Amino acid sequence: MKCVFVDRDGTLIRHRPYLADPANVELLPSVADGLTEFVSAGCKLFLHSNQSGIGRGYFSQSDALACNEEMLRQIGLGPQLFAGVCMCPETPDQAVIYRKPSPKYALEIIAKYGITRHDICYLGDNSSDMLTARNLGCLGVALSTGVHDLRQMLQQSGFGDGFPVFDNFMDAAKHVLSHFRHQNAAR
């Protein structure tokens, strides 16, 4: 079994700081098609999103979940698309439990499903997503959606060319699936 952990804001939907209103949810291009590819390949999908606006009191967990529901409606693959969802309310100055780059959520999934880190990919638009992949020791694939220069951000974080960066979700999904196929062939 292969598992893909995806970020929400800037990866699946347009990044809007402290998104709390479902009316502002806008699915990014090729996301529904890329997620369909993952599902067709038998991957389990997990949503792992830092939502410090909850911890800062800007919006509630219910507001964040309502945005997730709207995102799922726009994706059109059903309300149970994700095998698990982790919305991390911690702020950057609070003790880290699930907030990326903590690998805690993925480690719980590894234990639950009896898989290894090699069965996992983290897909996201921020260096924290790639740090999570590095901390876990799994594949990390970056998606540059224009919010910031992710290639430069990764260079400045000392990652160099350690993570492939794609400009659209479908190309990233194809890369992940190709990696998983090659991995399976090598076993």
Residues 97-126: tens digit of each pLDDT = 999 999 999 999 999 999 999 999 999 999
Q: Spell out the domain ranges in the chain.
A: 3-186
Entry pTM: 0.96
The yes-or-no verdict on residue 153 having pLDDT over 80 is yes
Residues 32-43: tens digit of each pLDDT = 999 999 999 999
Residue 161: pLDDT band with limits 50, 70, 90: confident
DSSP track, 36-93: HHHHHTT-EEEEEEE-HHHHTTSS-HHHHHHHHHHHHHHHTS-TT--SEEEEE---TT
CATH architecture classification, 3-186? 3-Layer(aba) Sandwich (3.40)
Residues 5-56: tens digit of each pLDDT = 999 999 999 999 999 999 999 999 999 999 999 999 999 999 999 999 999 9
- Residue 187: predicted pLDDT: 67
